[in-house]
Structure 1
Amino acid sequence: MAEKIYRVKTRSFLIVISSLLILTGILFLTSLSIGSSMISIYDIIRESLRLSSSENDILNQILSLRISRTLASYLTGLLLGLAGVLIQTMTRNPLADPYLLGLSTTALAFLSLAILLVPDLMIYRYNMIYVSFLGALVGYALTTLLSRLGGGGSYSLILSGVAVSFLFGGLSHILLYIAQSKLRIYYIYLLMGSSSTVLLNDVWYLVYVFLISFTTSIVVHRFLNAYVYGDDYAKLLGFRIDLLRNIVIALIAVATASTISIVGIVGFIGLASPHIARFLVGQDHLFL
């Protein structure tokens, strides 16, 4: 009986994934075609299938920029959705997400301070990701600490996260405006969330982070399924709670940090995506 149920769930999951991949492909082509210069989907497909170099260099350059930005946007959504699932599981709170709990703004505040203090090092994306990762960890720790001081309930967690988010969000605004006026470099896009500055190398950073985060989350999915029901239940099943919890928190932080460093703050995705995914494929973290 259990095997039959699992087969039905797997078949439903494959149908959902196939449908979403087709929809993603359509939206991807549509995104490439829309812009200041409209390009027909036929021309996009023709240029993509062309084996030799195209005579239309301008079209190739436009497509190159749009492909990088579209892929970055897609990967940002994947990473924030994954971070949202993990953080809602870790906090056992359906309203938790990296933005509401202050991880995004603390990551950006640390990044803004680093840009202002050591701008020469911050021209490299991997340095930006490292600094943002540290900031996201600090944000998670602060929110958790404030929540425990406030009683540790679901409402306390969200209110603590909002407080941390507003505090470090304000600091980020101040620091980035100072950095931009001092360095004459456009950094304000980090406050709004934009893929306009994304290059192909940036996309590869997001790909690497996603592959690591996604693979690790699949490996620990049994722990996540057990952790939802409480620490005692997970311990009863033999999981090393502290180690696995720290691994998952690190995944949340690195997923958040990579998106902050490349496209800036993007809200709501980390909150809504997990609920949409649960509606489509259920509660099992293997499918989520």
Structure 2
Amino acid sequence: MGFLRPHYPAVCAVLAVLCLFSITLSVSIGSARIPFLTVWSIILNKASLASIAPHWDMGRENIVWELRLPRALLAAMVGAGLGLAGTVMQAVTRNPLADPHLLGVSAGAGFGANLAILFLGSLLGVYTLPLFAFMGALGATAAVVMVGGISRAGGPTRLILAGLAVSFVIAAGSNVMIMLADPHAISSVVFWSLGGFGFAQWNNLVFPAVALLFSGVVFRYLAEQLNALAMGEETAATLGVNPRGLRILTLTVSAFLTGVLVAFSGMIGFVGLMMPHITRLLVGGDNRRVLPVSALLGAIFLVLADIAARRITAPNDMPVGVVTGLIGGLFFIVLLSRDRG
């Protein structure tokens, strides 16, 4: 499938440093600014990685460890997961405009999450929200595939239109649920429609972390098959790849990943659309390179977007979905303009 570019390790190293810096910046910035050195002293001390005599008060320690660090880590994981999902969706559909938001997968996950929040409560304990979000994402994926098709004959435009149509139908269903729900519970679903990380806690980071690790391993294992599929279905078949089976597997795992992420962050659009395109400009089209770099770029972008959302309307938080929607919408327009040219 080709040799790795010589500068690929350097790109990954630089992006890893930028990711660490963006997380540190997110933890440092806020109504109470905390120096970088203090941030890392608190983290290393709380994680028992170093024994540092406290030179900070308990208020700062709680801000760093209980509030800002879980939020920054959740933003990074969601950004990385959406970057992975967008890369895989664009690869298996051979559609440069595919991403979980435009194809209705995020809307389906949001529908499942809203159903669990408004009517089911803790039916299955802590697994209720991720499970129903995954089921909603999987159902939306199946609907888009049936309506728009994922063969080359279907065309990129048909698939995007199918995703938009499915999103509208799901949105209508969500609105009906809101109308029928207890008025006191309606305010809780606003979070899921706008997206944000304000409810991040250490005890709920395990679900997106496991989903991200599992999906990343599966996608990396399938990267060479995705490269073969990019050369056409007939070529992929001669190389021993089952195009239909590959699409079903990757779209199912993408729906699982998106569902879990939406369950804890709400619907955040356009990250999966933008990151793969930027990544291919940096490291080429080999999915063995695109997947990890897209994940790193997604993590950096969403952490920085969350910082912007917190600062624009400080001391209140603007939903991060507003920031990504604005940037992603402009990116989408530029992408369409380039395609037309």
**Pair in the same fold by TM > 0.5:** yes
Deviation (angstroms), 1:46: 2.7
Change (3 A) 1:142 1:12: same
Does the residue aligned with 2:254 lie in a helix, a strand or coil? helix
What is the distance in 1 between the residues matched to 2:53 and 2:72?
22
The equivalent residue for 1:117 is 119
Instruction: Name the amino acid aligned to 1:127.
Output: T
What is the distance in 2 between the residues matched to 1:88 and 1:105?
18
The equivalent residue for 2:43 is 48
Deviation (angstroms), 1:176: 4.6
The equivalent residue for 2:30 is 35
- Indicate conservation of the 8 Å contact 2:122/2:128, yes or no: no
Instruction: Name the amino acid aligned to 1:168.
Output: I
Structure 2 residue 273 is matched with structure 1 residue 280: no
Deviation (angstroms), 1:178: 5.3
- Indicate conservation of the 8 Å contact 1:190/1:263, yes or no: yes
User: RMSD in angstroms over aligned alpha carbons?
Assistant: 2.3
Does the residue aligned with 1:187 lie in a helix, a strand or coil? helix
Alignment of 1:221-236 (within 5 A): 221-236=223-238
What is the distance in 1 between the residues matched to 2:175 and 2:33?
35
Change (3 A) 1:280 1:109: same
Deviation (angstroms), 1:103: 0.7
Deviation digits for residues 141-163 of structure 1 (CA, Å, limit 9, x no counterpart): 111222149x7221111111111
The equivalent residue for 1:19 is 14
Change (3 A) 1:43 1:59: same
Deviation (angstroms), 1:173: 4.4
Deviation (angstroms), 1:123: 5.7
What is the distance in 1 between the residues matched to 2:3 and 2:156?
32
What is the distance in 2 between the residues matched to 1:37 and 1:106?
38
The equivalent residue for 2:339 is none
- Indicate conservation of the 8 Å contact 2:117/2:189, yes or no: no
Number of residue equivalences: 281
Deviation (angstroms), 1:180: 6.2
The equivalent residue for 2:155 is 153
Deviation digits for residues 176-227 of structure 1 (CA, Å, limit 9, x no counterpart): 5754624477332111111000111222211111111111111111110011
Change (3 A) 1:261 1:179: farther
The equivalent residue for 1:162 is 164
Change (3 A) 1:146 1:32: same
What is the distance in 2 between the residues matched to 1:6 and 1:249?
27
What is the distance in 2 between the residues matched to 1:269 and 1:73?
12
The equivalent residue for 1:136 is 137
What is the distance in 1 between the residues matched to 2:112 and 2:81?
20
Deviation (angstroms), 1:265: 0.3
What is the distance in 2 between the residues matched to 1:53 and 1:172?
52
What is the distance in 2 between the residues matched to 1:287 and 1:267?
23
Does the residue aligned with 1:6 lie in a helix, a strand or coil? coil
Instruction: Name the amino acid aligned to 1:34.
Output: I
Does the residue aligned with 2:154 lie in a helix, a strand or coil? coil
What is the distance in 2 between the residues matched to 1:273 and 1:140?
21
Percent of aligned positions that are identical: 31
TM superposition score normalised by structure 2: 0.76
Structure 2 residue 83 is matched with structure 1 residue 76: no
Alignment of 1:173-212 (within 5 A): 173-176=175-178, 179=181, 181-183=183-185, 186-212=188-214
What is the distance in 2 between the residues matched to 1:19 and 1:263?
27
What is the distance in 1 between the residues matched to 2:174 and 2:139?
15
